[in-house]
Amino acid sequence: MLFKKLIKFFFKISLMIILGLIVVSSIDPKMIEGKTKRYIDEKDQAAVEMDGNEVNDRLADTKQHELLYQKSIFTYQPLPQNIIDKIKGISWKKGAPATLESLAYVKVSYFGFDDKIHQGELIVHKEIAQEVTGIFKELYAAKFPIEKIKLIDEYGANDDLSMADNNTSSFCFREVEGSDGKLSKHSFGIAIDINPVQNPYIRKKKISPSEGEPYRDRLDIKKGMIVKDDVCYKAFKSRGWIWGGEWKTMKDYQHFQKNIVLK
Ligand SMILES: [Zn+2]
């Protein structure tokens, strides 16, 4: 009898150990990471589908809808050689905190102020490149108007010229305006400025670019402006980006940034 009881006891103990091992293996951190990654991918997919439906409502003509997606392009890749040649010594210089290998070249479709489809190019940190294409897909599906999306190198990496021309851009190795050598998040490719004229930087009386003066009043909503809870705001904020329009001491309405841990 005692022998039988002992056998039963050991059987129970080993069953508990096996169950314990199963539970521990199911919370393997690698698996959690895998799940999070899938979640992000699905979220981007869902966002596109949702806005696809919105577009469907707007465009009663199905053919026109199909055409909209046939014409679109949303890609990212490591910096091609011709782009490296273009930005070296202009927006990217030796001493930049972002290496050329850490940056990605992104192509996106967008609706211009002329209501036509255009293609733009951006350089962002490679860790957020896929997310950025997801954001611009959402803006495209909702036909959020953007005037132009060119590399800042077209303006000799001069932010004032790029802003005055209402150019949407991301990477540029530069300091924060008016700071003592503090590097801008644009130096890491983790910040994007959208339609700077309609969404200027405002600190007390200072406004930049000065062309943004007619857009100082944020309650008078005009084409290309970003306001809280609109499609542009949601596309960035739902992915954990910070909006400069919600800062306290100053407002940088054009500016979105993603504070990722840089390796
Ligand atoms: Zn900015």
SS3 track for 35-61 = HHHHHHHHHHHHHHHHHHHHHHHHCCC
How far is 180 from 133, CA to CA, in rounded Å?
Answer: 33
How far is 121 from 151, CA to CA, in rounded Å?
Answer: 6
CA 38 to centroid of ligand 1, rounded, Å: 29
Q: For residue 107, what are the β-bridge partners?
A: 75, 121
Q: Which H helix or E strand runs over 32?
A: helix 29-58
Check: CB of residue 128 under 8 Å from CB of residue 258: yes
CA 55 to centroid of ligand 1, rounded, Å: 29
CA 227 to centroid of ligand 1, rounded, Å: 16
Angle at 243 between CA 183 and CA 219, to 5 degrees: 130
CA distances from 1 to 9, 11, 14, 15, 100 (A): 12, 15, 20, 21, 75
CA 178 to centroid of ligand 1, rounded, Å: 13
Residue with tokens 């001069």: 158
pLDDT single digits (tens) 91-118 = 999 999 999 999 999 999 999 999 999 9
Q: Provide the pLDDT confidence category of residue 71 given band limits of 50, 70 and 90.
A: confident
**Mean of pLDDT over the chain:** 84
Mean pLDDT computed over 29-36: 38
Q: Is residue 44 predicted with pLDDT exceeding 60?
A: no
What is the predicted pLDDT for the residue at 119? 97
CA 42 to centroid of ligand 1, rounded, Å: 28
Spatial strand order of the sheet with 255-257 comes to: 191-193, 255-257, 242-243
Sign of the Cα torsion 116, 123, 70, 38 reads: negative
CA 9 to centroid of ligand 1, rounded, Å: 67
User: Whole-model pTM?
Assistant: 0.75
The token pair at 114 is: 């002329």
CA 30 to centroid of ligand 1, rounded, Å: 34
